[in-house]
Chain A
Amino acid sequence: MAQARTTNRGSDARIGSTARIRGRIHGDGDLVVEGQVEGAVALRGDLTIAEGAMVSSEGIEATSVTIAGALEGDTLASGAVRLAASARVRGNIRATAIVIDEGARFSGRLDCEFDLPTELGGVSRGEPRGRASTRR
């Protein structure tokens, strides 16, 4: 997240605050969005939506996502998603970990993979640990 400020590295990218992109963004590398993006984002890297940025997307996919601006659309991360206090998010989030700082506005579904203790049902939707009886 912090590294994205130095965009001299070949694979890093930044969409400046006055830039507007309508279309698809995809590829390898980290991306910091400070401007406006309308469209899909599919990244093998860390995505940062800076404060003041606006992303309206049919879907965002990245390794990790840090949101301090406005996002409308679903987010899918193989790693962690973090909503900073200035985030304004509407859409569903699916990630291995989701952190929401107080002050963030969020409306949508959260989806992390984990199991409740057995007293509460025990088996998560995605990981059928109980059913993997071959492991025992």
Chain B
Amino acid sequence: MASTVIGAGITIEGEITTEEDIVVAGTVRGKLSAKEAVTIESGATVEADVQSGSLAVAGTLTGNVTAGDRVDLQSGARVVGNVKAARVTIADGAQFKGNVDMDV
């Protein structure tokens, strides 16, 4: 269970920082930074730069991503921005536009 959950009806405009993980089912605009996993669920909208341990996207993300671990773009994801991570997977059906930097 994620320790921070932004529910579907909630919008946050600003900066979010957490030491743990976060699930976004609603809308976030601004900056998002988590030490552990960030999950952007289907239907969620994130317009922010994301910094996280890992990132899984099934919704919409516009912004640059810096992940220490892995980034997974799932089917249905729509991502516009640059992604820098150790591992990146883009599933069939995911839309992505941007640079990928897997600096090992």
Question: A residues bordering B, Cβ < 8 Å?
Answer: 7, 9-31, 35, 39, 43-45
Contact = CB atoms under 8 A, between A and B. Distances in A.
A45 B7 CA distance: 12
A19 B13 CA distance: 15
Contact of A27 (B4, B11, B22, B30): B11
A28 B27 CA distance: 12
B4 A29 contact: no
Contact of A20 (B10, B16, B30): B16
22 contacts: A11-B8, A13-B6, A13-B26, A16-B2, A16-B4, A16-B22, A17-B3, A18-B3, A19-B3, A19-B16, A19-B17, A19-B19, A19-B22, A20-B16, A23-B30, A24-B12, A24-B14, A26-B10, A27-B11, A28-B9, A31-B10, A44-B9
Interface of B: 1-20, 22, 25-27, 30
A25 B12 contact: yes
B86 to A, nearest CB: 23
Contacts, number: 91
Contacts of B9: 10-11, 13, 27-29, 44-45
A21 B10 CA distance: 13
B13 to A, nearest CB: 5
A115 to B, nearest CB: 36
B18 A20 contact: yes
A34 B70 CA distance: 28
